[in-house]
Amino acid sequence: MSHWTGDTQGGLYEEILERADDSDGRSPTLINPEKLKTVLLEMLEEAGVHLRLYTFSDDVILDGNQIRGVIGYSKAGLQGFTAKVVIDCTGDGDIAAKAGVPYVKGREDDGKMQPLTLMFKVAGVDTDRAVFPGSFEETFKVPKGDLQTLGREHLPYPAGHVLLYRSTLPGIVTCNMTNCIDVDGTNPDDLTRATIACRKQIEPIVEFLREYVPGFEHCYVISTASVIGVRETRHFQCMETLTAEDILSARVFDDWVVTKAHFNFDIHNLDGSGLDKEGVQKLFAQPKGYTIPYGCLVPVGCNGLLLAGRNISATHKANSSCRVMPICVNIGQAAGTAAAIAAKTTLIPTNWMFAIYSIHWSFKVLRFDAPFCRLNFKGGISQ
């Protein structure tokens, strides 16, 4: 992506915005991905994180219903990593699934999951003349007709929508236009098929842009995503589950750990291109933002495990809102804070005898004595 989609208040998200801003005053939500990669590594180093790249989770270490760590695999072979608390940020909940946490996949009534997309960038765009439809419901009149109608008529099915985003770099535009349906993002054969299908769509999409979109007459591909983007797979059973009704009512949970989360129901068509009938973007009726409770991070049946990112407990429709980057950043901060507190005490995150009534974010995270974190312990301890 070339910009942060969605919004939330405070926390690491605002620090990342400030440190990674490369927009030259245009908008701090624009992303220069190459700068962001370095900024995130710097933040990890400053926090004293022992980072291990090129390592994937293979299995979990369980002691009854208590998780004790994970088995990782890399070119060096298998290796065990023990931990007081494990946080599953795999997106698909790979660790939680191996730990036996109950889950369902996709939409509640039929298990269908959102389509996959391989993002790519084009250069050589005259951005002064170009148009930038940023949602399925936004279109433009171009010389040969209505742009979204032209997309449905001429783009290779199941592609068929036009989503174009400005970048921080001159003449470069990010394209969110490839599309592959009926894919299970936890199945490597499906992922392979989807990747090949989306890569084959890129050339005809670029030809479409050159012919139909002003300013793109001389555009050309300069980069494609290294991996395909998966929007939805497993939904886990946790102490609480975020619902569409919670979002629409701007519900304030007693145990909220993320506040002012805001994004529409971004459900891509599960059977073709464009927006699903359950999705809503420009006419989204909830302007206030909502909270996410701590219970959505706490899976049932496995002590010592927390979830963060798009694999927290949420319904199909609610997940389409809370899965976006700014909200996931602050979900991760909440999980990390909770894990740090548990690691410094004898408390178990899934069995704490206290409620988190509010978390006051600051730029200094994961410090047990930090003023941003106020927790009320039923045992009389207060911070």
**CA-based nearest residue to 327, from 1, 36, 13:** 13
Q: What's the total number of domains in the chain?
A: 3
Cβ density class 352-364: b for 16+ within 10 Å, e for less: bebebebbebeee
Same domain, 39 and 67: no
Same domain, 164 and 264: no
| Higher-scoring residue by pLDDT: 257, 145 | 145
In a domain, 6, yes or no: no
User: Cis bond leading into 158, ω under 30°?
Assistant: yes
Domain that holds residue 72: 56-108+232-377
DSSP codes of every residue in 214-271: TT-TT-EEEEE-SS-B----EEE-BSS-B-HHHHHTT---TTEEEEEEB--B--B-TT
Provide the pLDDT for residue 210.
Answer: 99
Among 42-56, 326-340, 361-375, the range scoring the smallest mean pLDDT is 361-375
Confidence (pTM) = 0.89
Same domain, 60 and 202: no
In a domain, 319, yes or no: yes
Task: Give the pLDDT band of residue 348 (cuts 50, 70, 90).
Answer: low
In a domain, 114, yes or no: no
* Domain limit, last residue, from 198, 224, 250: 224
Same domain, 218 and 253: no
Residue pLDDT, tens place only, 88-130: 999 999 999 999 999 999 999 999 999 999 999 999 999 999 9
Q: Tell whether the model's pLDDT for residue 40 goes beyond 80.
A: yes
In a domain, 133, yes or no: yes
Among 15-24, 56-65, 121-130, the range scoring the smallest mean pLDDT is 15-24
In a domain, 51, yes or no: no
Residue pLDDT, tens place only, 225-272: 999 999 999 999 999 999 999 999 999 998 888 989 999 999 999 999
In a domain, 321, yes or no: yes
Mean pLDDT value across the chain: 89
Same domain, 158 and 253: no
Same domain, 266 and 341: yes
Same domain, 64 and 158: no
Task: Give the pLDDT band of residue 377 (cuts 50, 70, 90).
Answer: very low
Q: Partners of 234 in the beta sheet? A: 105
In a domain, 115, yes or no: no
* Size (the chain), residues: 383
* Domain limit, last residue, from 192, 224, 256: 224
* Domain limit, last residue, from 224, 248, 275: 224
Same domain, 250 and 352: yes
Provide the pLDDT for residue 96.
Answer: 98
Provide the pLDDT for residue 315.
Answer: 98
Which token pair is 23? Answer: 């927009």
In a domain, 127, yes or no: yes
Give dist(CA 62, CA 66) in Å, integer.
6
Same domain, 97 and 240: yes
Same domain, 351 and 253: yes
Same domain, 189 and 209: yes
Q: Tell whether the model's pLDDT for residue 65 goes beyond 70.
A: yes
Averaged pLDDT, 72-93:
97
Q: How far apart are the first and last CA of the chain?
A: 39
Percent of the chain at pLDDT exceeding 90: 73
Same domain, 265 and 283: yes
Q: Tell whether the model's pLDDT for residue 365 goes beyond 70.
A: no
Which token pair is 314? Answer: 């949420």
Which token pair is 348? Answer: 């178990």
Provide the pLDDT for residue 255.
Answer: 85
